[in-house]
Structure 1
Amino acid sequence: MRRRAERALQAVAFDTIGAGYGEAFPAKGGQLACGRRLLAQLEPGAAVLDVGCGTGDPTVRQLTTAGMRVTGVDLSDVMLTLAREGARRGPRAPYAPVFHRIDMYDLATDRAGQAWNLPALGPGGRGGFAAVTAFFSLILLPQDEIPVVLGRLRELLRPGGLLALGMVEADLDHVPLPFLGRELRISGYLREDLERVLVEAGFAVEDRSGYSYAPASTSLPPEEQLFLCCRRVG
């Protein structure tokens, strides 16, 4: 219960940050490149889940424009409102994205099944997605919860399904850090440790890249961003 409350407080922080997040991190080249690698392996109309979709920029827009059936999930009401508004204003796409407010820790559980009401995807959406994207959302979890959530993302994927992951390379475990006028608890891994966690969670890492990134906001330090394309094993 304590950690659920902590995640809710982090969501409230993102309610306050809102569109300021995109202003602080305007360059999305690494994320978009990872998205392109994912799209190259997906059939038209494939079901894709974006975990921690935020405002929907750029991943929901990239995926829907390419003809994917996208479900975006986030715990911030303000971010979801911005994502829905962006989808309405964005370029015409074959399938409109759908959005749900849910704690990522509840993915692939009965709680998710009740919230989504997606019986065609199986209980809680298990096995119904061709791909999952999670760009800089797992960094908000303690390190001991990240393997649990990765295991649940694996459950959501069909056999051989794909995971596109973005993380910050740093040896941090739920450390409180100032972030755009708020305090967030952030976790990260060194790249070898992150790949080990992914393999232990049932994924094969097929592609990886790293980018040195300087946020536009001078209040935030430069960071090393990691992008990994993975496949569900088994």
Structure 2
Amino acid sequence: MGTGGYEHIERDRTGQAEAFDAIGDRYDEAFPHKEGQIAAGAWLIESLPAGARVLDLGCGTGLPTALQLTDAGLQVTGVDLSAGMLAQARANVPGAAFVRADIGDLIEGGPLATGSFQAVAAFFSLLMLPRPEIPYALRAIGDLLEPGGLLTLSMVEADVDDMSIPFLGHTIRVSGYLRDELLQVVRDAGFEVIKEDSYAYAPASIDVPPEEQIFLSCRRA
């Protein structure tokens, strides 16, 4: 599939990990209902053989996804840039392995072997990247998957690129697409979209506005 060029992109993550280090478990308090994420995790569980290797990309505190997949008997590796989030994930999901890394590090020669996973879950992690990086990140995910491997991802539907927003008392930068453009970006990166779901979501926090969440279930073409 090839990630050609990602290694030459200058990545600016200023303040991103630090914000999530500070937010800590307040993230789970602000987003208590994760029906879409749980349903997408259930799709992976139903679609994979026992003991399959799954990458939880942008695992946060490990809840609910790393725990859900581990409890189902899958071999889970979680990746996150926030050391604070990873510390909580290790406590919450002792049965999983966790690696601190940037998505942009997950190219050939990075900390994870090419073709070493049967599935990847990327819930609200790609939205932390500027739009020009997202196609490269999707191709890097494809390279981590074995042929025919599965990807389930979620994004907030929004026509924004690297936009600064207030988030639980901090500032983060986020990107998004409208639905049809997101579908095209995912397909162009070499994935077949098997199904799509959307959820209207109102976070339990006054400084995080309601949002439309898009979940895509995909297969590496």
Query: Which range, TM-score by smaller chain?
Result: over 0.9
Aligned counterpart, 1:54: 60
Does the alignment pair 1:65 with 2:77?
Answer: no
Asked if the contact 1:142/1:187 (under 8 Å) is kept, the reply is yes
Aligned counterpart, 1:102: 101
Cα offset, 1:3, TM superposition: 4.9
Q: Which of 211, 215, 231 is the equivalent residue of 2:203?
A: 215
Please give the alpha-carbon distance, in whole angstroms, between the structure 1 residues aligned to 2:167 and 2:10. 20
- Kindly report which structure 2 residues correspond to 1:129-148, keeping only aligned pairs within 5 A, or say none: 129-148=117-136
Please give the alpha-carbon distance, in whole angstroms, between the structure 2 residues aligned to 1:154 and 1:142. 19
Cα offset, 1:87, TM superposition: 1.5
Please give the alpha-carbon distance, in whole angstroms, between the structure 2 residues aligned to 1:31 and 1:153. 18
RMSD: 1.3
Asked if the contact 2:81/2:101 (under 8 Å) is kept, the reply is yes
Runs of 4+ residues over 3 Å off in structure 1: 1-4
Name the TM-score, length of structure 2 as normaliser.
0.94
Asked if the contact 1:8/1:75 (under 8 Å) is kept, the reply is no
Aligned counterpart, 2:45: 39
Unaligned runs of 5+ in 1: 89-95, 114-123
Percent sequence identity over aligned pairs: 54
Does the alignment pair 1:16 with 2:22?
Answer: yes
Asked if the contact 1:47/1:131 (under 8 Å) is kept, the reply is yes
| SS of residue paired to 1:45 | coil
Aligned counterpart, 1:181: 169
Please give the alpha-carbon distance, in whole angstroms, between the structure 1 residues aligned to 2:205 and 2:96. 30
Length, aligned pairs only: 214
Tell me which protein shows more helix as a share of its residues. 1
Asked if the contact 2:41/2:68 (under 8 Å) is kept, the reply is yes
Please give the alpha-carbon distance, in whole angstroms, between the structure 1 residues aligned to 2:138 and 2:156. 16
Cα offset, 1:8, TM superposition: 4.9
Name the TM-score, length of structure 1 as normaliser.
0.89
Aligned counterpart, 1:117: none
| SS of residue paired to 1:194 | helix
| SS of residue paired to 2:164 | strand
Unaligned runs of 5+ in 2: 1-7
